[in-house]
Structure formats: C-alpha cells, structure tokens
Amino acid sequence: MSHVRVERYEHVARVTLDRSAKRNAMSSDVAAELTAAFLALADADDLRVVVLSGEGPSFCGGADVKELAALTPETADSFIRGLHAAIAAAMTCPVPVIAAIRGACVGAGLELVAGCDMRIATYDAHFSMPEVKIGVPSVIEAALLPRLMGRGKAARMVLTGETIDAQTAFNWGLVEELVSADDLMFRAGALAAEIAEADPLAIRAQKRLIRAWDDMTIEQAVEASVREFADSYRTSAPRDRLAAAMAGRK
C-alpha cells in the first residue's frame, strides 16, 4: 500500500503524505516513496509548482517511532540517509515546493518543510524537534533551521525539544503565512496558481538561484544571477511578455 499520493492539476502537482493513522510518520518505506515521487516529478517538463501536504489532521508526526526503537548503529545510518534523500529530492525539485502544514509538524516532518521553498500553516499547527528527548541529536536538514529563523531560535528548538505554536513559528520566520484549516489548501492552491502563471523557464531559473545562493558569497551570487539573466534572453519569453505588458498599459 502506497503512503505517498501524487495528483496532477495541469501545471501543478500535489504530493500528499497518506498515512494518517500514524500521523503521516516517516518510515523508511515512506521516505523511499517520497524520494521516488519527487524524482519522477523532476522529469516532468510541464510541471511548474508542487504543493506538499499531509492527509488528515497532522502534516507529519516525525520519524516512525517503532522503526526508531529497533535501530542499531548500522541501520541508523541507512535510516537517516533515507530520510535525507527524501528531503533532498524535494529541495532539488526544479520547481518551487509549497508546504501546506496542518496540525503536528514534528522532527523529520519539520526538516521536510524546512527543505521546501515556502510554508503555509494553519492556526492550529505546532512544531517541534524533540530528538534530544529520546536520546539522539536533530540532524540532516535540521541544519536548515538557523537560516530560516536564526541560530538562537533554532538552537532553542533542537536543545530543548519544546513545541512552538503556529503564531510563534510565524513570528520566528519558520512559516510565511497562517490560515484557517478550511482555507489551507485554497491558499496553497492560489499561491501555486500565481506561480504557475509566471514564465516556466524563469521560475526554474529562480528556483536554481534561490538554492544556489545558500552556498555562495554575495559576489558569487551576483555573478550567477547575471548569467541566469542573460540566459533568459535565449528564448523569446522576456520580449513577448514585456510586449504584452506594454500593450496592456496602452
């Protein structure tokens, strides 16, 4: 039985963690399915944006507890690398990925949304990195958290394991928008539709730059941006869209 559901709506894909009985917990199998789903979407030339969500009242309750309890030093290595592969597949997806977060977003689930490009959460969402409470450190994409909300706040989350509510997550910069549960998928869909209206090659170029900027100096980022800007004129899109915009103003 598959625990990751992929649906297509023209240029938009919706990827859903579909294991609600277990709060969409991330097992090795779920991680492998999620990796495969994003790698398949990466090959879809007509894709423009992905919305990632969880089935039921929780986004993701973290790593599968039963699997965690049975790990050895050898299997722990392969388990955590499997989770990393799933998050990396979402991060390197060539189009933007929007996380639509409801309810619990814990541990591996929080690392997954940290790897997305944008995050919308419901008012009842809550976030935590409780790994230290069970005897392990927060690892892999927990390393993204300081970039989102600053080193001090990230350190507080991973060192205390405390749970923060949606308003705190918004205030700290962990999520960009808060909505009601009834409006979550509507707002995520509206944001996806707005992105899908932009030039598809420009969106992919912008996604490449956003990710590349993380590892660059300002000078390197400027140079990379100049190359992407110049390359965009290898197609007629800038001229065509500018001509249409000017015609509309007239």
Instruction: Please tell me the distance from the alpha carbon of residue 168 to that of residue 236, in angstroms, as a whole number.
Output: 45
Amino acid at 242: L
50: phi then psi, degrees, rounded to nearest 5: -125, 140
Q: Which of 7, 55, 74, 131 is catalytic?
A: 131
Spatial contact of 48 and 203, defined as CB atoms under 8 Å apart: yes
Based on the residue annotation, tell me whether 10 is a catalytic residue of this protein: no
Token pair belonging to 181? 């549960």
Name the active-site residue from 33, 55, 111, 141: 111
CA 117 from centre of chain: 5
Three-state secondary structure along the chain? CCCEEEEEECCEEEEEECCHHHCCCECHHHHHHHHHHHHHHHCCCCCCEEEEEECCCCCECCECHHHHHCCCHHHHHHHHHHHHHHHHHHHCCCCCEEEEECCEEECHHHHHHHCCCEEEEECCCEEECCHHHHCCCCCHHHHHHHHHHCHHHHHHHHHHCCEEEHHHHHHCCCCCEEECHHHHHHHHHHHHHHHHHCCHHHHHHHHHHHHHHCCCCHHHHHHHHHHHHHHHCCCCHHHHHHHHHHHHHC
Reply yes or no on whether 194 is catalytic: no
Active site residues: 111, 131
